[in-house]
Structure 1
Amino acid sequence: MGKYDVAAYVWPAYTGREKRSLMFWPEGMGEWQSVKNAAAKFPGHEWPRKPLWGYVDEADPAVMEMEIEAAAEHGVNVFIYDWYWFDGMPYLENCLNDGFLKAKNRDKMKFYLMWANHDVNYTWDIRLSWEQDCLIWKGAVNREEFENACRRVITQYFGQSNYYRIDGKPVFQIYELANLMKGLGGLEKTKDALEWFREETKKAGFPDLYLLLTAYGDTDNLSGLDNGKTIKGGDAVSYLGFSGVTHYQFAHIADIDRDYDEILADVKEIWKGMEKEYGLPYYPHISVGWDNNPRFNGFRPGIVKNNPPEEVKKGFVMAREYADSHPGQAPFVTVNSWNEWTETSYLEPDDRYGYGYLEALREVFKDG
C-alpha cells in the first residue's frame, strides 16, 4: 500500500450474469443498458457520455485485471464493493466473486464491503423509474437474516488475502443505520446484533471488527426506532460500537445543484463537525459529481456543475490535507466512485475528459 489508502466505491451492476438483474436491465448487460441509451435532457446537458473502455463485463477476470492495473497506476488502492442482501440471499456478487477475486493481479488492490442495505424501488428500471413509491425489496433484515448475511461475509470475504483491514481488523461499512435498526428492532437489539457480529469475527481469527458508518446529513434524527424516542445520531453510533465514519456521496450532505467549488466549501465545514458529533475518526470523502438523469426518461433536477478534473483535484487536495492533519488515524480517503456512470460520479475514463479524473487523483495521492 502507498502512503494513503484511497478507496473508491464500486457499483457492481455492469454485468448481465446476475439473473435477478434482468428485471431491471433486460438487455443482459446490467446497468450499462441505461448508460448506453442515455440522452441529453436539455441544451447543454453533458450527456451522453461514453466509457473509453467500452461496455465491459466486470464479472470477467480479464476486464478486472485491466481495471485493477489502471486504478493502481493512478493511486486507487482499495475498492469498496457495494454489497447487497435481499430476500434471504446476496445480490450482484458476480462482479466481485467472478471478476475481481479471480483476477490474476488482485493482490495489487485491497477491497472491503459496504452493506448497501437500502430499500429497492424502480429507480434502476428506466421504464418505471418515475414510480418511486413501489417497493420491490426491503433493505432492512431481522436478526436471523442479519446473522445469515454476516456469516457469509465472514466466511467468504474477511479471510481473503487482500481484504482491507485497519489495525488488523476487517473493515465493514453499513450504508443505512436507520434501516439496520428498523429491521433489528431498535437500538438495544441492534447493539446486541453488532456485538454478536464482532464476536463471530473474533472467533474467525481476527482481532476485532472495524465497523464503519456511512453518515448522512440527517443522521441526528433516528426517531421512531425505540418506542418513538428520538436518538441523537452521534450518541447512538458511539453506543453501537462503530469504529469510524465516512460519507458516500456529496448529494447526501449538501446542496449539489451548483458549482463544484461551492459544494467543496460546504463539505469542508461539514468535515470540521464530524469528529465532534460522533467522537470517532472521520475519514474524508470526495465525490466526483452527481447527475442521475441516465436512470430517467424525464428530467431530474439536481446536477453538480463545473466539475472538470482540475476542480475535482481541489477536493482530492482537501482530503489529503485532512488525512495529513490527523496522523493518529489511518490515512484513509473514500471517493465516489470508481464507476457510478448513471449517477455521473466516476473515475473511469470517458469520452469527455479521458483519463482526467484518474490523472488528477494520481497527481495528488501518488505523485504529490
Structure 2
Amino acid sequence: MGKGFTEWTNVTKATPLFKGHHQPKLSSHMNFYDLRNPETRKEQAILAAQYGIEGFAYNHYWFKGKRLLEKPFNDVLNSGEPDFPFCLIWANETWSKRWLGEEKEILIKQEYSPEDDIGHACYLAKAFRDKRYIRINERPVFTIYRPNNLPDNSATIDTIKSIALKENGVKPFLVASNSHAMPDTAHLLQNGFDGIFNFRPQLGVLPGTFTDGFDKRRLMNNLWKYKVFSGNYKIYGYKTALNLMTEVEPESFDKIIPCVFVGWDNTARRGANGIVIKNNEPNLFEAELMRVKKKLECSGDNLGMIFVNAWNEWAEGNYLDFDNMHHYAYLDSIKKVTGK
C-alpha cells in the first residue's frame, strides 16, 4: 500500500489461481470509478433505480470519533445529492492488513466507551434526520455488523435511541447483523435491537474457510469437484454454499431482514489464501432472490426489506454493478424479480 493505493489496485492485479477461475474481475469498459466524484455517485444511483433497487446501504466506520472512508457519504449527506434513499451499516471491526493476508498487523483498533457512544449517537442523529434516510415504520434503520463485539450492547442501543429521540423526535430502528450464523439471536432482540439482519455470505458455515495452508480433505474436495490439484485453495460451489447457509436460516423471516449475495472471491486481496465461491451465475442468483422474496411475503411479522450483498465489493468478487463477464445480467435479475 502507499500513496495512490485504492481497491482497484488489488482488483487489477488479481490473477487466476486455477483453470476456470475468473480473475481479474473488472468493470465494463475498464471504468475504475471514484465514488468521491459526485457525478459518479449520481450515475450509480440512476443505474440502481432503473433496475428496481430502492436504496444503498453505506458501510460506516467509526473509531472513537475518527471516521474512515467518510468522504463519499459526507458529501451525500451535505449536498443532498443524489436524491436516492440510503441507510448506514456500522462495520464495527478492528482494521488490520487482512486484505494482504496480514491479520496480525493492526491499522486501527475498534474500541468502545460510554463517552464514545454519546459522540457517535450525536453524529448519527444528523444522518437520521435526512429525508432520504431509509425507514421501517417511520424509524431510520441503523444496522450494527458485529453486535456481540459491543461490551454492553444494551447500553449502546439505549444511548443511540435516546439521543436520536431527543434530537429528532423518533427512535431509530436498530438492526443486529447475524453475520456469522449465530444459532440464537433472541438475546439481541431482548437487549433492545428491533430486528435481525440475516447477513450473507455466512462464510463460517463453509468447511475450512478460516484455515489457511494445505489440507488433505481440501485437496480431495478440489480434485473431485473442481478438477483442481491443490490442497491450499478454498473453493466452494455457489449452490453448495447456498444450501449450507439455508440450513442455518431461520424458519421464518419474522423481524428479519433477509439477504441474498451475488458471489464471493477475495483472492484479489488475499491471493492463494482467499475464498472462492465459483459457478455463481445470474440465473442462480435470480432463483435465490425469488425464493427469499416469497418466504418474506409469507412471514407475518416481516420488515418488508431485502438486502443484496453487494453493489460494488469488487475486491471480494461480490457486486451487482456491470462487469466484463455478466454485464447487466445480475441487475436484470433484480428487475425481473421486483417487477420494476
TM-score range, shorter chain: 0.7 to 0.9
Q: Matches of residues 89-104 of structure 1 in structure 2 within 5 Å?
A: 89-98=66-75, 102=79, 104=81
Deviation of 1:85 after TM superposition, in Å, equals 1.1
- Where 2:306 maps in the other structure, the secondary structure is strand
Deviation of 1:330 after TM superposition, in Å, equals 2.6
User: Equivalent pairs: percent with the same residue?
Assistant: 25
- Spell out, residue by residue over 1:7-43, the C-alpha distance to the aligned partner (whole angstroms, 9 max, x if none): xxxxxxxxxxxxxxxxx45325x21221122222233
1:236 is aligned, of 163, 180, 187, to 187
Partner of 1:45: 21
Residue 43 to residue 262, structure 1, CA distance change in 2 (3 Å): closer
1:117 corresponds to 2:68:
no
Partner of 2:198: 247
Deviation of 1:71 after TM superposition, in Å, equals 0.3
Distance 2:37 2:274 in 1: 35
Deviation of 1:86 after TM superposition, in Å, equals 2.2
Q: Is the Cα contact below 8 Å between 1:317 and 1:364 reproduced in 2? A: yes
- Spell out, residue by residue over 1:138-183, the C-alpha distance to the aligned partner (whole angstroms, 9 max, x if none): 223212112211211112x1111100110111111001112222xx
Distance 1:82 1:138 in 2: 17
Partner of 1:288: 262
Structure with bigger strand share is: 2
Residue 327 to residue 235, structure 1, CA distance change in 2 (3 Å): closer
Q: Which amino acid aligns with 1:111?
A: F
Q: Is the Cα contact below 8 Å between 1:63 and 1:99 reproduced in 2? A: no
Q: Is the Cα contact below 8 Å between 2:199 and 2:258 reproduced in 1? A: no
Partner of 1:196: 159
Partner of 2:222: none
Deviation of 1:103 after TM superposition, in Å, equals 6.5
Structure 2: 5+ residue runs without aligned partners?
Answer: 210-234
Q: Which amino acid aligns with 1:143?
A: P
Partner of 1:210: 173
Deviation of 1:89 after TM superposition, in Å, equals 1.1
Partner of 1:57: 34
Distance 1:348 1:45 in 2: 20
Q: Which amino acid aligns with 2:21?
A: H
Partner of 2:314: 341
Q: Which amino acid aligns with 2:125?
A: I
Q: Is the Cα contact below 8 Å between 2:189 and 2:195 reproduced in 1? A: no
Partner of 2:292: 319
- Spell out, residue by residue over 1:106-131, the C-alpha distance to the aligned partner (whole angstroms, 9 max, x if none): 22x2111111001111124xxxx232
Q: Is the Cα contact below 8 Å between 1:61 and 1:102 reproduced in 2? A: no
Residue 100 to residue 150, structure 1, CA distance change in 2 (3 Å): closer
Distance 1:308 1:328 in 2: 31
Task: Give the TM-score normalised by the residue count of structure 1.
Answer: 0.79
Partner of 2:109: 138
Distance 1:103 1:35 in 2: 31
Q: Is the Cα contact below 8 Å between 1:291 and 1:302 reproduced in 2? A: yes
Q: Is the Cα contact below 8 Å between 2:195 and 2:257 reproduced in 1? A: yes
Higher relative contact order (CA 8 A, sep 6+): 1
1:305 is aligned, of 244, 255, 278, to 278
Q: Is the Cα contact below 8 Å between 2:286 and 2:333 reproduced in 1? A: yes
Deviation of 1:247 after TM superposition, in Å, equals 2.9
Partner of 2:134: 164
Q: Is the Cα contact below 8 Å between 1:139 and 1:179 reproduced in 2? A: no
Residue 266 to residue 321, structure 1, CA distance change in 2 (3 Å): farther
- Spell out, residue by residue over 1:304-341, the C-alpha distance to the aligned partner (whole angstroms, 9 max, x if none): 12111111111111121122112533320011100001
Distance 1:119 1:274 in 2: 32
Distance 1:39 1:333 in 2: 33
Partner of 2:212: none
Q: Matches of residues 16-95 of structure 1 in structure 2 within 5 Å?
A: 24=1, 26-28=3-5, 30-52=6-28, 54-95=31-72
Deviation of 1:68 after TM superposition, in Å, equals 0.5
Partner of 1:262: 240
Alignment size in residue pairs: 312
Q: Which amino acid aligns with 1:80?
A: A
Q: Which amino acid aligns with 1:263?
A: A
1:352 corresponds to 2:325:
yes
- Where 2:95 maps in the other structure, the secondary structure is coil
Q: Is the Cα contact below 8 Å between 1:338 and 1:346 reproduced in 2? A: yes
- Where 1:303 maps in the other structure, the secondary structure is strand
Task: Give the TM-score normalised by the residue count of structure 2.
Answer: 0.85
Partner of 1:364: 337
Distance 2:291 2:155 in 1: 37
2:145 is aligned, of 170, 175, 186, to 175
